[in-house]
Amino acid sequence: MNSDIFMPSQLTWATGALAGGPLIRKTTRLADLPGIFADGEAWKCGNPQKSVYDVDVLGSPVGEGALFVGVTHLRAGNVGDEFFMTRGHFHQRREQGEVYFGLRGCGLLLLQTEAGDARLEQVTAGSVHIIPPFTAHRLINTGNETLSSLAVWPSIAGHDYAALAEGFTLRIFASGEGYEVRHG
Ligand SMILES: [Fe+2]
């Protein structure tokens, strides 16, 4: 075996588990998401320590042209009738895009332009989502198991949450066995 061969990090596709490298995990709990869900009373009644999603990012060099790789694990759950979702963001550097890959579970990717035009893409194991520049993005878990999605994005992109103070223009609620999309 050639000792010059570098062993890279490993992704278990079926679970989204990353291993074999420096890993930074950020957990977002219910308490970290005030004003995100439509039913504020239901949000207050929830367990504030409940983990809504974890993001695992491989430690890697930062700079112009460098890429980050990470996996989001979004738990199944609801606040009132609204499904668990990520906070969602524009990139600070608006012209920077991103790619998401569905790994497990089922859900939706909500995409919204700066003009407020929104659309949804179905996220399933194997789905590929090209997030264009100037487009905010949020994951929503409409299923009964954790939704895991791999993401690759420019390290210079940054996150801008403040630009979405008014929220997204679409919300997804549980309805029977499926979901319902509501505007506003
Ligand atoms: Fe992003």
Cα 98 to middle of ligand 1, angstroms: 6
Residue 124 C-beta-side C-alpha neighbours within 13 Å: 1
pLDDT in tens, 154-177: 999 999 998 887 889 999 999 998
Cα 130 to middle of ligand 1, angstroms: 11
End-to-end CA distance of the chain: 59
φ, ψ dihedrals at 32, nearest 5° = -85, 0
Cα 136 to middle of ligand 1, angstroms: 7
**What global pTM score does this model have?**
0.95
Mean pLDDT of the chain: 96
pLDDT in tens, 112-131: 999 999 999 999 999 999 99
- List alpha helices for 10-133, DSSP H: 40-45
- The residue ranges of every structural domain in the chain are 10-183
pLDDT-derived band at 102, boundaries 50, 70, 90 = very high
pLDDT-derived band at 1, boundaries 50, 70, 90 = low
Q: Does domain 10-183 have CATH number 3.10.129.10?
A: no
